Structure 1
Amino acid sequence: MNTSRLPDRDALLTLLDGVRDPQSGKGLVSAGLVQGLSVRTGRAGFMMEVAPGLLELYEPVRVEAEQVLRQAPGVEQAQVVLTNFEGPAGASPAAPPPAAADEAPPAPGVTRVRKGARLANDPQAAPSPPPNAIRPAHVRRVIAVASGKGGVGKSTVSVSLAAALSGLGLRVGLLDADVYGPSAPRMLGVDGDPEYHPEKKLIPLEAWGIKVMSIGFMVDEGAPMIWRGPMASSAVRQMMHEVAWGEESAPLDVLVVDMPPGTGDIQLTLIQKMKLDGVVIVTTPQEIALIDARRAASMFEKTATPILGVIENMAYFADPATGVPIPIFGQGGGATEAERLGVPLLGQIPIDVALRQACDDGRPLGVTAPDSGPAKAFRQAAEMLRTRLGLARG
């Protein structure tokens, strides 16, 4: 086959519609079971979501769909990801708070919403660990790296911490949970198609001593992920618990989860389904970033997830001529926030051209330039995290 030719998307959809849905009798496309079809040079794949309890029924369908894709011109590798769909739990609007005695009533048919009012009856709002959250099999510790907003370098911190922890001799995995903006494949310089384990689990790819799983392995770099919340959450669930992260004889010491920005569906799915041993909050010194960092911290506090510390990224830029730190985004914000939370400031990472270049090149600075300033800062943060998590040196 000619792998330089991009497979024809319409032709693939036609072929997949020839595979029958065992429940409706329709083709997979007509039944709405072909979701997120990804077409790359020599590769094709999609996600197939089914109701809980139907995985065994649809496993032969998954195999048949992969075989059909592999027979198409231009396709050498095919992957169909089969996972459960879980609809969002119903929630009823909360009753509006009573009006103050001196406050005029709203107009007929209008409800006044006050700051701090809960808009929905959310059972996850109770400050206690989610009862169904578990660690992935053969994983000793799980830490999340969160920011509450995008653009603060959370993925850079996640990859750099994973590399630093691996450099301490620990067995490390990295889950890229930002399904709308996956960056781990680029930052670690790894690409490929995850294969299936004999136990029907995905086998993570490896780079720089780190086991990696990302939705970026299934889609073209830069291709938009036009997925609704439930589908994105389902993809994250599969990457959490349907991946062979470790083995009984060689468990993973720590799984680093690169969280997406915000406090929405995917974050709730992670908190509800995966037992977190702690979270690292990433922020820049400026107040606008700290506001969102506080939101992220509050979300984890409500689920009794320990906050392990704060990393202040883009803390300063060292003047090339004098070496004097220039606080471009302000000064002291990360330290102040760490003090407010009662946790350590794990590190202050400078704005550094070499760090940016290392991420673009897929060559972690902690591995390729361990004596550089940012690499040393991440190693110090990793040492503190290893101690706080109770992990012995490898």
Structure 2
Amino acid sequence: MVYVVGMGARGKEGLSLLALRRVEEAEVLIGGSRHLALFPEHPGEKVPVKGPMEALLDLAEARVRAGRRVVFLASGDPLFYGIGKRVLERFPDAEVHPAPTAFQEAFARLGLPWDGARLFSFHGRPLGGGLLELALSPLSVVYTDPENTPARIARALLEMGAGGFRAHVAERLGEEGERVRSFARLEEVAEEAFAEPNVLILQAQAPLPPRLGFFPDELFERRLPKRGLITKREVRLLALGLLALPPDGILWDVGAGTGSVGIEAARLAPWGWVYAVERNPESWPHIEENARRFGVHNLTLVRGEAPGALEGLPPPHGVFVGGSGGELEGILAKSLEALRPGGRLVVAALTLENLGAAYASLRRTGLPLEGIQVQASRLVPTGPYRRLEAQNPTVLLAVRKEEGCGSTSSA
């Protein structure tokens, strides 16, 4: 039989009687060195966690076949970013005994209720879209690691203009050198060093930012004087609605220009990823700067010309074609082939030639075709007066790949 026993900040004194009995009756203990050290008198085999998890699971399976009882010792709740998931995949009948997690202990030390808190882990994970979710949360707790430290997370939030948080950092909970500190400003956290392991708690002290930025065009860094290298604000809003990305959706932003559509999409799909495909080297630094400026960490710049640059990208839930460089037919064919069933493709056509080519290609797919002409006017000053200035009209063409549909050719 296999058991998974969580160890809290109180060590073995915090174990339930049943969990303690499981450990005492075990013939094999598998765990981190600090957990094994809590049972110096235990007569069983002790296996420290080192190397690949798969090797430990193989060892446990061999011991179970030999009729021995195996206990995995873990931190806190083994099913909350712990080894419990991997153990249960191999041993579905394993018995799990959770202990309070590090974040529960941290809230207890601070005397803060944590109902309503959002839970994040950047332990061994990229910041990705989780950073935006953090910025949108009134109360959150973050599992950190030696790379994604509280200081690095604080700096990333400050870079995206989300500095309105009070912070608490709990270090080495339940261990020698335990310390819990509070900071009125993220700037203080950004300059501090913290002992490992630690958790970060953030409390919003200022209004939270919107999920859909609908940012003015002027906020994007772009190549000037060529003003056409940005998908205008009004067009972006409608295009994002037509794309209907799920929160974990993958978007190909083809002919990304400044990256404006991809950046807004990355904010709407924080658990997904955006691939901004752009052939012009002059645009690359602007896409990267705009991603940094708007706090987007779930975007990859793909330097190359489509359709060739689309090879090897993950199948998308949505494709936005804002520029084609004369390769529209090939881009549409490749995009529709790779698009997931139920996914959407949207083309922004500014010229009659592109409109005609896109319309003909998409009609040949046999998929239901939707089209919207966007013709907006903006209020501009004229001396002491105000007038409406028309923007260049854009036509958005959209198709949805039907469920159960395989590759769809536009040729």
Q: TM-score w.r.t. structure 2 length?
A: 0.28
Q: Which has the larger radius of gyration?
A: 2
Normalization by structure 1: what TM-score?
Answer: 0.29
Greater share of strand residues, 1 or 2? 2
